[in-house]
Amino acid sequence: MKNSLARYGAFLFSATAARAAGILITSLTFPYLVRVLGVKTYGLWSYVVAVCAVLDLIADPGITTFITRHVAAHRLEATDLLADYFVLRACGAGLGVVVVLAVAHWEPRTDVALLLRLFGIGLLFVNLVSADHFLTALESFHVRSLLSVVQQIFYAAVIFLTVRHPSDVVWIPVAILGSSLLAAIAGWIMLFRLGLAVRLKLRPARWRQILVPSFHYAGSSLMSNVYHRSGHVLVRWFLGDYALGLYAAATRLVDLLCGFITTIIHVLMPRLALDSHSLPVLKRTTRQVLAATAAVAIPISFGLFATADRLVPWVLGASFLPAVALVKWLSPYVVTASAASLWAGTVLYALGRHRAYFAATIGGAISGIVFYLVLIPAFGLTGAGVAFVLAELVVATIAFAMLPRELHDLWRNPMIGAALASAAFMAIFVRVASVYLVPLPWLICGGVLIYVATCGWYARKWFSRHLRPA
């Protein structure tokens, strides 16, 4: 037990450090881009990203998701499927190119059509050769973390050297695709050294074994993109390009913050996949993952709400001041998205319950579309933000209901109550300190210290019981 805690603690430290470095780099590139591109151009670029993310599902209908779990559960024994995996993915990529060209052909704006062709086709190829999912499945988090930081540095360098005007938006996909390709090449070199081998032996008879669960995962990914990305399309449709820019920047900001929580979840996914053969062991691991998730997600949500009026102009610039209220409405997303990622994207996924995973995301997609169509015309950007949050809440609720009965008491976790009480105390401190115009970096540091001290006091019994060396 002690060695396991040390091992996964090292993994978590490595992944979190890489994520922190990525956030630091993004904290430079993201504000720079929104300032240089302006509200409308940044909104259009986000629209291109949203469309390409949906179209990429045609090229990869859940096949990578299936293989990742298979390798995580069986490790190097699963390499006999890799040749079939690459053949199926290549066929999907070819079909994806055709669809991207068709969508770009019908796009009325020539600049958006160019971005769709450049980024859409490039993304299909880069995702085909990506090594990230295999590094994760084999728990090579140190290697993946290093590659992630190098990729972010390369991306930032290209952005700062080339993007000086809204017309330079074409360099953004070049930076993303170029840095991703270099990381993929380095990743495969490391995988080969770890013993992962692609045996050039095709077995078409096994393609059904791959495709049936993959289509369920593809449907889940499609539904996830529907409730996560359709807001961009519908905001542009109902409210115009300027509102789209505000919405895209605000949702990107909360997504970046949510990345801290998903790092914890992704690090422990392979462990959950291995533990899925024993429900008692899985329950113990999931309880610890839930505690860590609650301890990070809840204070970030409270802190975002408490500091939005100062954080938004500080990060995005004065032109995005109209997005302050939207960011406040979006702050619960950090909690709802983390819960959805944990229950649907991690626990159900680790258990191999692809139908339950699919059902949860279908519920999110249907409710999300309904929320968007009702709330955006009625409440504008505020309605879009509320719909964004509620769609994730529906996914989390359905996924939790479909867990094995033995896991249904996991919500009785004392860390949830400790995190809520400590985060509320922290938010009160931040609001009071804001009245005295304390500089934002000091305000954030003070809030973090207050939360850690208060949460540690509340949760000291839980820590002593669950983290005592065996």
How many Å separate Cα 295 from the centre of its chain? 18
The mean per-residue pLDDT over the stretch 418-432 comes to: 90
Tokens of 1: 């037990």
- Percent helix, percent strand, percent coil in the chain, to nearest 5: 90, 0, 10
121 or 437: which leads in pLDDT = 121
**CB-based burial label for 38 (10 Å; 0-12, 13-18, 19+):** middle
Q: Are 245 and 43 in contact (CB under 8 A)?
A: yes
Kindly state the percentage of the chain with pLDDT values over 70. Answer: 77
Distance CA 393, CA 90 (A): 35
Q: Are 348 and 402 in contact (CB under 8 A)?
A: yes
What pLDDT score does 24 carry?
Answer: 60
Dihedral sign from CA coordinates of 411, 413, 419, 422: positive
What pLDDT score does 233 carry?
Answer: 83
Which amino acid is residue 91, in one-letter code? C
Q: How confident is the model at residue 288 (pLDDT cuts 50, 70, 90)?
A: confident
The answer on pLDDT for 257 being more than 80 is: yes
The mean per-residue pLDDT over the stretch 262-286 comes to: 70
Distance CA 51, CA 278 (A): 40
Distance CA 169, CA 33 (A): 9
Among 13-17, 54-58, 357-361, whose mean pLDDT is lowest? 13-17
C-alpha distance from residue 386 to each of 67, 262, 371 (Å)? 35, 21, 8
Which amino acid is residue 41, in one-letter code? T
What pLDDT score does 393 carry?
Answer: 94
The mean per-residue pLDDT over the stretch 194-221 comes to: 65
The mean per-residue pLDDT over the stretch 365-389 comes to: 93
What pLDDT score does 469 carry?
Answer: 47
The answer on pLDDT for 20 being more than 50 is: yes
357 or 32: which leads in pLDDT = 32
C-alpha distance from residue 215 to each of 66, 436, 445 (Å)? 9, 55, 45
Tokens of 144: 């993946």
Among 5-9, 154-158, 371-375, 451-455, whose mean pLDDT is lowest? 5-9
170 or 462: which leads in pLDDT = 170
Query: What tens digit of pLDDT does each residue of 176-195 get?
Result: 999 989 988 888 888 777 77
Among 11-15, 172-176, 231-235, 402-406, whose mean pLDDT is lowest? 11-15
Dihedral sign from CA coordinates of 290, 271, 67, 146: positive
What pLDDT score does 470 carry?
Answer: 44
What pLDDT score does 424 carry?
Answer: 92
Query: What tens digit of pLDDT does each residue of 94-107 get?
Result: 888 888 888 888 88
Q: Tokens 């997609």 — which residue? A: 365
Distance CA 54, CA 66 (A): 18
Distance CA 455, CA 207 (A): 50
129 or 323: which leads in pLDDT = 323
pTM passes above 0.75:
no
Query: What tens digit of pLDDT does each residue of 69-94 get?
Result: 666 666 555 566 677 777 878 888 88
Rg (CA), the chain: 22
Distance CA 230, CA 372 (A): 8
